[in-house]
Amino acid sequence: MSKRRPSIGVFDSGFGGLTVLKALLEVIAGADFIYFGDTARLPYGSKSVDTVARYAVDSSHYLESHGAQLLVIACNTATALALDRITAATHVPVIGVVEPGADSAAAVSKNKRIVVIGTEATVSSQAYSKALAARGMQATEKACPLLVPLVEEGWVEHPVTKQVAGIYLGEAFQGEFEDADVLVLGCTHYPLLKPLLQSVAPAHVTIVDSAESTARAVARRMRALLPQVDDGEDERRAQARLKFFATDSVEKFQRLGQRFLGRSIEGVQHVDLKE
């Protein structure tokens, strides 16, 4: 008798969380993924805690009501500001991106000094610094608000982006963090800039991508929570099935989203979340 395929909900403020979905698809097969991008209300990175929490809880409820058995909060800002509120408001396990990112960074750092880059809101919350301090690390966080629009413009190898990133990282890797040996990408958009960031960061720095760390954490959690994914070779080899929901233009989601997911996106459904 075939069992129900596991269903994983992935939430983000927009397109960026597709980098997390991309990483999830690399390590988990045989699951249904439901992706919700709150494109009508992005960016979250410049908004207040209460606003982000309200939007993120609405969106998480939507995913839960569409059958998600586990929720991945792919948005760093929503994780940093509202993971507790999302967890309290939903009835399924919730995994954010901050704790897995902090785990990987702590495992890689030799001198226990780490630089985290993210949105204004993520940096103000100090969620990464707190998670890293709990692992015995010292961290400095740097808001890089210009990087999200540059990535959405497709300027991932552009000289202007290189100059902007160089200024941000120059300001972050200074003083007692001059010799920090890990750079955490604490924003969904930054994985697209990984080669550029590696080229402007000090040569000794290792980049930790929260998207990859989160995907590995979700795979581990899924095996424990949803054992049907381990039903057998056929199930494991089965293709992932994807569904996409967006609160703004479906056409724009398809066009921009494919850059983040690295493959074409079809069948996006529009959702109108009433305030």
Residues of this chain that bind ligand DGL (CB under 6 A): 12-14, 16, 42-45, 75-77, 118-119, 122, 148, 187-189
Q: What is the amino acid identity at position 54?
A: R
Please name which of 32, 27, 34, 44 lies closest in space to residue 11, comparing C-alpha atoms.
34
Query: Which one, 8 or 229, has the nearer CB to ligand DGL?
Result: 8
Let me know if 267 is exposed, middle or buried by CB neighbors in 10 A (0-12, 13-18, 19+): exposed
Query: Which one, 6 or 96, has the nearer CB to ligand DGL?
Result: 96
Torsion, CA 10, CA 16, CA 19, CA 21, rounded to 10: 20
Query: Which one, 5 or 189, has the nearer CB to ligand DGL?
Result: 189
Q: What is the amino acid identity at position 224?
A: A
CB of 119 to ligand DGL, least distance (A): 4
Helix, strand or coil for residue 206? Answer: strand
CB of 13 to ligand DGL, least distance (A): 3
CB of 224 to ligand DGL, least distance (A): 26
Q: In what order do the strands lie in the sheet with 268-270?
A: 94-96, 70-73, 7-12, 32-37, 241-246, 268-270
CA distances to 109, 140, 168 from 180, in Å? 8, 9, 15
Exposed e or buried b per residue across 190-212, where buried means at least 16 C-beta atoms within 10 angstroms of its C-beta: bbbbeebbeebbeeebbbbbbbb
Task: Supply the residues annotated as catalytic.
Answer: 75, 187
Residue 138: phi, psi to the nearest 5? Answer: -105, 130
| Closest residue to ligand DGL, based on beta-carbon distance | 45
CB of 122 to ligand DGL, least distance (A): 5
Query: Which one, 30 or 101, has the nearer CB to ligand DGL?
Result: 101
CB of 88 to ligand DGL, least distance (A): 21
CB of 179 to ligand DGL, least distance (A): 27
| Cβ neighbours around 124 below 10 Å, total | 16
**Cross-strand partners of 163:** none
Nearest-angstrom CA–CA distance, 172 and 178 = 8
